[in-house]
Structure 1
Amino acid sequence: MGDQVSGTDGTAQGAFPGMPLPLYSASPSRLLAWLDCPRRYRMQYLDRPRPATRPPRAHTSVGVATHHALRDWWDLPDEVRTAAAGPELVRTSWIDVGFRDPDQSATWLATVQAEVTAYLGGLDPRHPPVGLERTVAFRTRTIALTGRVDRLDDRGGELVVVDYKTSRRASTTDEARTSLPMALYAAAVWKMFRRRCVRVELHHVPTGTVAAHTHTDESLTRKVAEAESIARDARAADAQFREIGVASSLFPPHVSSLCAWCDYRAHCPEGQQVGPERSGWAALERAEASGASLASGDTS
């Protein structure tokens, strides 16, 4: 049998000399975690046992309930699949976690019910999507990527990737254009369905606005190459972690104001130096103070 190899180039244990490297399995979220903060990436994906995270925040509960309501609407019988079904769908999907108190939870329940109802009013119930919360995947010579699409529409024979957003500010066309996850989802859909998919849309549920971008073949190829580049760096870091664990120097924290919101802050001394930790309901309070209709994890 061949020797087992585990090198800093990312070679997996159990590989034979001369054999190609195994594909790096990842989701867009994992790739972005590596870019955002290698320390958080290590704690989230490599440390065993995984460090305990803080309890879910209220804005996460709002986002999850919104997504579930919009998903479940399409499962309703035709005769009741109307915007009027929105409030009950939100109520049954509501997650009462992370809020300051019952009054704040009730206030945001009513807010989200109104926003979801308004958004559903702009949909045509007679034309269901091709997929809802659909898992998509593709492979290159470097990565095996898997992700989940909120909604997949058929528009004139071409497929369109739709992502729901519940942040306190509307998405921009530049965000749709530069989003690595959205481009990778489009590439995966094209590969899986063997149908052209180049348009991606960010649907901001609170305002009903849509930020969209239509990729070219070349821009999708560039995004896939970007993902491969990130994967190569993460693979090398993963391999060193297997060899020397937390002694590795490849997982420094990227210290910023976002450290105040990090789920792993309690385990990161550098992150703890960035002001006080934000409360579980802080993002909602910011929205209330600014008069915005909804808040989420966008804390910039």
Structure 2
Amino acid sequence: MPTPLYPASPSRLLAWLDCPRRYRMQYLDRPKPEARSQRAHTSVGIATHNVLRDFWDLPQSRRTPEGVAELVRTSWIDVGFRDPEQSASWRARVTESVVDYLRQVDRHRQPLGLERAVALRTDSITVTGRVDRLDDRDGTVVVVDYKTGRQAPSEDDARTSLPLALYAAGAARVFRRPCVRVELHHVPTRTVAAYEHTTESLERKIAEAESIAGDLRRVDADFAERGIESLSFTPRPSPLCTWCDFRAHCPEGQQMGPEKSDWAGLEAVDPSGLRSSVESIEEKP
């Protein structure tokens, strides 16, 4: 019998690279260990993404600052903040940043796709994901991914991003059009970090995903046979442990320092810690 294709998502692949134990708890353990409550920067990120999705459903007459403010009000998630005052302050900041971001967007040109599912199939894996926005520019498809963290992304971030490359390859196959340009749009600063892949660079990223998935196929099988006794999920302690949603179940992670507060992601730039947490909560199912 042929070997079934390994089903994966970009976030699943990255979770393994970050920490094998977190990967096990997040994707394999049943029942799944209880995760910590949602942090404030996660609430900000989800609300911002929802507003930027729903904006394009508004009629042209309501694509205004007032229309955006109403979307923020109805999409706001009041979870993880220090107090009601901090929540209200950040709601105002998100409203302002989204309005300023949309001022530089052609609001009369409807995107090709919003939170559009794309899929990629190779000889060994199938990857599915959901892209924040897909633009049609001169007959080509452009992948747009929104970022809301404190640190603006760089061109190198766009170049090295495994999810963006997989989204581009998937979008090209779904729409049967060229898709080589990927963009990270940092909403708070309106920074756009872009990279144009080549056929060769996309093939390298697909090969990287296949390699990671090969490791996951092996450890998933080991877990199915041995359960939590498997030795394949040694934790990888790092500064990310202070942000980890499963820290309460990992003694090694607890030794990496005190846990970050629910609102720490709003107060200080910590790119190493925020990257993992944001990738996790922005997983496209």
Q: Which bin holds the TM-score, normalised by the shorter protein? A: over 0.9
* Offset from partner CA, 1:154-193 (integer Å, 9 cap, x none): 0010000000000101110000000000000000001111
Moved more, 120-129 or 216-225: 120-129
Q: Structure 2 residue aligned with 1:35, among 4, 12, 17?
A: 17
Classify the secondary structure of the residue corresponding to 1:74.
helix
Cα RMSD after superposing both structures: 1.5
Distance 2:84 2:68 in 1: 21
Distance 2:274 2:54 in 1: 23
Given that 2:141 and 2:178 are in contact with CA atoms closer than 8 Å, whether structure 1 keeps it comes out as yes
2:14 partner amino acid: L
Q: Structure 2 residue aligned with 1:227, among 209, 231, 236?
A: 209
Given that 1:261 and 1:277 are in contact with CA atoms closer than 8 Å, whether structure 2 keeps it comes out as yes
Q: 1:86 and 2:73 equivalent? A: no
Unpaired runs of at least 5, structure 2: 278-285
1:101 partner amino acid: D
Moved more, 116-125 or 79-88: 79-88
Distance 1:273 1:236 in 2: 29
Given that 2:68 and 2:98 are in contact with CA atoms closer than 8 Å, whether structure 1 keeps it comes out as yes
Q: 1:157 and 2:139 equivalent? A: yes
| Correspondence for 2:274 | 297
Q: CA 1:229–1:164 in 2, change beyond 3 Å: closer, same or farther?
A: same
Distance 1:247 1:102 in 2: 44
Offset of 1:299 from its aligned partner? 8.0
| Correspondence for 2:110 | 128
Q: 1:193 and 2:175 equivalent? A: yes
Aligned residues: 275
Classify the secondary structure of the residue corresponding to 1:144.
strand
Given that 1:187 and 1:197 are in contact with CA atoms closer than 8 Å, whether structure 2 keeps it comes out as yes
| Correspondence for 1:75 | 57
Q: 1:284 and 2:250 equivalent? A: no
Q: Structure 1 residue aligned with 2:88, among 78, 82, 106?
A: 106
2:177 partner amino acid: R
| Correspondence for 2:251 | 269
1:63 partner amino acid: G
Distance 2:95 2:63 in 1: 15
Given that 2:119 and 2:171 are in contact with CA atoms closer than 8 Å, whether structure 1 keeps it comes out as yes
Distance 2:63 2:92 in 1: 20
| Correspondence for 1:183 | 165
Distance 1:196 1:224 in 2: 16
* Offset from partner CA, 1:57-115 (integer Å, 9 cap, x none): 00000000000011111000122223442222111110000001101101111111100
Distance 2:41 2:60 in 1: 31
Given that 2:131 and 2:144 are in contact with CA atoms closer than 8 Å, whether structure 1 keeps it comes out as yes
Distance 1:298 1:101 in 2: 25
Mapping of residues 202-221 of structure 1, within 5 Å: 202-221=184-203
1:189 partner amino acid: A
Higher Rg: 1
1:40 partner amino acid: R
Distance 1:275 1:125 in 2: 46
1:257 partner amino acid: P
Classify the secondary structure of the residue corresponding to 2:85.
helix
1:297 partner amino acid: L
Pick the structure with more helix per residue: 2
Offset of 1:298 from its aligned partner? 3.8
Distance 2:228 2:156 in 1: 37
Given that 2:41 and 2:266 are in contact with CA atoms closer than 8 Å, whether structure 1 keeps it comes out as yes
Q: CA 1:299–1:27 in 2, change beyond 3 Å: closer, same or farther?
A: closer
| Correspondence for 2:280 | none
1:227 partner amino acid: A
Given that 1:66 and 1:90 are in contact with CA atoms closer than 8 Å, whether structure 2 keeps it comes out as yes
Distance 2:267 2:186 in 1: 19
Given that 1:85 and 1:117 are in contact with CA atoms closer than 8 Å, whether structure 2 keeps it comes out as no
Offset of 1:297 from its aligned partner? 3.0
* Offset from partner CA, 1:220-278 (integer Å, 9 cap, x none): 01100000000000110000000001111110111011101100000011001111111
2:274 partner amino acid: G
